[in-house]
Amino acid sequence: MKPETEAVNPRSRDIDLKTIQEILHIINEEDKSVAAAVAAVLPEAAALVELIVEKFAGGGRLIYIGAGTSGRIGVLDAAECPPTYGIAQNRIVAVMAGGANAVFNAAETAEDSEAGGKTALAELDVSARDVVVGLSASGRTPFVAGGLFFARERGAATAVVVCNKTSCLAEYADIAIKLLTGPEVISGSTRMKAATAQKMFVNMVSTAAMIKLGKVTGNFMTCMRPGNSKLLERAKFIIHNITGVPLREAEVSLRENDGNIRQTVNMLRNKKAGSVKAGNRDL
């Protein structure tokens, strides 16, 4: 039986005969179904978030493993979470079939190696403290299968995020997430709806995990690293918004705390609380 991601989409069958405006409309209409596919797996997403939080709290890691577009989605999340939430770079790791070069250049043959997936996770010394998430639109990528099989042998928790109802990878996973986005606008081009769904899912899960791990105050990224001028302005705004101090005072206090937003917020809150107490005593 042909996987849904490889099926022919009847709504775009004659897309090569359409005008540019019509082509864009067809793609946009198809993309509207992606959020619904993600909404359908929220219970499984919650279970995965709980697993990630548990492993992180125990000193473990979140490890993504994938190939092609799916692998690159894991790379994005692994690269973006540390500066956003102030976690160490080695706590969220992405394993890509074909290695770092495959992030920028297609390496299709690398995904066919189960041994390659096993070797990659062996080099990371994956253990029971970790959670390994396989990303595969087709749900049958050998590289991911090899990695997940090895991870389970080592006692790690495992999950897969796929885009077909039937997936051989599910047998290697404690949690199987199926984002059923259906046939692509261009048959088999899973860089489209399938990838969009995986990106939405990964963003949602890692964000929820970071919130539950205490990396967010209100809805502000108070563990962010203000490493450039734009982020410095954001940090000042965060401090100002949470504590109510003027932006100039926020900047000075941030500098006094070596750019640590959370520490700055706590200092200013304590300072404010002390002033209120002192005022009450005067009354």
Q: What is the pLDDT of residues 84-111, one digit of tens each?
A: 999 999 999 999 999 999 999 988 888 9
pLDDT at 106: 86
Write down the pLDDT at residue 123: 97
User: By the 8 A CB rule, do 178 and 41 touch?
Assistant: yes
Q: Is the pLDDT of residue 72 over 60?
A: yes
Residue predicted with more confidence, 283 or 106: 106
Q: How far apart are the first and last CA of the chain?
A: 79
Among 80, 153, 171, 233, the active-site one is: 80
80 classed as catalytic: yes
As given in the structure block, the two tokens for residue 120 are: 């990659």
- Please give the helix or strand (H or E) that residue 92 lies within, else none: strand 92-96
Q: Quickly state the pLDDT bin for 276 (edges 50, 70, 90).
A: very low
Position 273 scores a pLDDT of 75
Q: Is the pLDDT of residue 1 over 70?
A: no
Q: Kindly tell me the sign of the dihedral angle through the C-alpha atoms of 158, 84, 78, 30.
A: positive
* Side chain identity, residue 19: T
Is 44 assigned a catalytic role?
A: no
Mean pLDDT of the region 267-277: 74
Return phi, psi of residue 220, to 5°: -110, 140
The better pLDDT of the pair 57, 279 is held by 57
pLDDT value for 246 = 94
**Residues whose CB falls within 8 Å of the CB of residue 229, separated by 6 or more in sequence, listed in order:** none
Distance CA 181, CA 163 (A): 6
Question: For residue 201, what are its two tokens?
Answer: 């899912």
> Look-up: residue for tokens 């994005």?
76
- Using DSSP, state whether 65 is helix, strand or coil: strand
Confidence of residue 274 (pLDDT cuts 50, 70, 90): low
Nearest one of 93, 52, 90, 87 to 223, comparing CA atoms: 87
Q: What are the tens digits of pLDDT across the range 213-269?
A: 999 999 999 999 998 999 999 999 999 999 999 999 999 999 999 999 999 999 998
- Whether this prediction's pTM lies above 0.85 is answered by yes
Q: What is the DSSP string of 97-163?
A: TT-THHHHS--GGGGG-HHHHHHHHHHTT--TT-EEEEE-SSS--HHHHHHHHHHHHTT-EEEEEES
In the predicted model, what is the mean pLDDT of the chain? Answer: 93
Q: Phi and psi dihedrals of 221, rounded to 5?
A: -85, 80
Catalytic residue among 4, 111, 184, 251: 111
Query: Which of 21-25, 73-77, 184-188, 226-230 comes out lowest in average pLDDT?
Result: 226-230
